[in-house]
């Protein structure tokens, strides 16, 4: 009788340790999502700031400046529910303004334009990477949260279900192909 109780107790402790380990893993995934989201927000803000700065520099023609400024301003001021759409609109505006290599070369020839074009090229390249890291963390957390043991024992606590950040992040060809220094 005592041996049976000991084995039951050992089994319960093993199950408790496993559930504790799973809850810790889920907590680490949620922390990774938060860090990845902060990095994504920083890259999106950097891209919008550089685009807005370039639009107000006088280097671009007036129509391109207005399109780029309005899209960058909308992306910076967007509420969380509208953020994906606003960022996609900025990506489309960047592709419209910098769709041709001649436009990028014209920006580079202007005083201070080379640094601005390089900074914009770096910013538009980093956004897809940051979004990919965020969405990979979300995918891993979702996969773990879908397990029965996580749902039955409520190991996720009150944390909201993680959502991926879906947007059009394709960079302009003229900026994406240029090497940065």
Q: Could you report the per-residue pLDDT of 72-108, keeping only the tens digit for each? A: 999 999 999 999 999 999 999 999 999 888 888 888 8
Alpha-carbon dihedral angle through residues 125, 174, 116, 124, given to the nearest 10 degrees: -20
pLDDT of residue 102: 85
Give CA–CA dist 16/110, Å, rounded.
Answer: 65
**Per-residue pLDDT averaged across 32-38, rounded?**
97
| Tens-digit pLDDT profile for residues 130-159 | 999 999 999 999 999 999 999 999 998 888
**Per-residue pLDDT averaged across 39-59, rounded?**
94
pLDDT of residue 156: 87
Alpha-carbon dihedral angle through residues 130, 96, 73, 47, given to the nearest 10 degrees: 30
pLDDT of residue 112: 83
pLDDT of residue 178: 52
Domain boundaries, the chain: 23-174
Report the percent of the chain where pLDDT is more than 90: 76
What pTM was estimated for this model as a whole? 0.89
Q: How far, CA to CA in Å, does 38 sit from each of 66, 136, 164?
A: 29, 14, 13
pLDDT of residue 1: 82
């Amino acid at each position: 009788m005592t041996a049976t109780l000991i084995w039951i107790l050992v089994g319960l402790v093993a199950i408790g340790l496993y559930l504790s380990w799973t809850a810790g893993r889920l907590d680490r995934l949620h922390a990774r999502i938060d860090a990845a989201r902060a990095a994504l927000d920083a890259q999106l803000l950097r891209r919008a700031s550089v685009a807005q700065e370039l639009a107000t520099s006088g280097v671009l023609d007036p129509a391109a400046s207005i399109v780029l400024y309005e899209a960058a301003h909308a992306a910076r001021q967007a509420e969380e529910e509208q953020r994906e759409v606003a960022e996609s609109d900025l990506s489309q505006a960047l592709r419209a303004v910098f769709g041709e290599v001649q436009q990028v070369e014209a920006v580079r020839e202007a005083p201070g334009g080379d640094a601005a074009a390089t900074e914009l090229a770096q910013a538009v390249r980093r956004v897809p990477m940051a979004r990919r890291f965020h969405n990979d963390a979300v995918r891993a957390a979702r996969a773990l949260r879908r397990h029965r043991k996580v749902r039955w024992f409520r190991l996720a606590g009150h944390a909201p279900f993680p959502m991926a950040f879906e947007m059009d992040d394709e960079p302009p060809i003229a900026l994406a192909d240029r090497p940065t220094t």
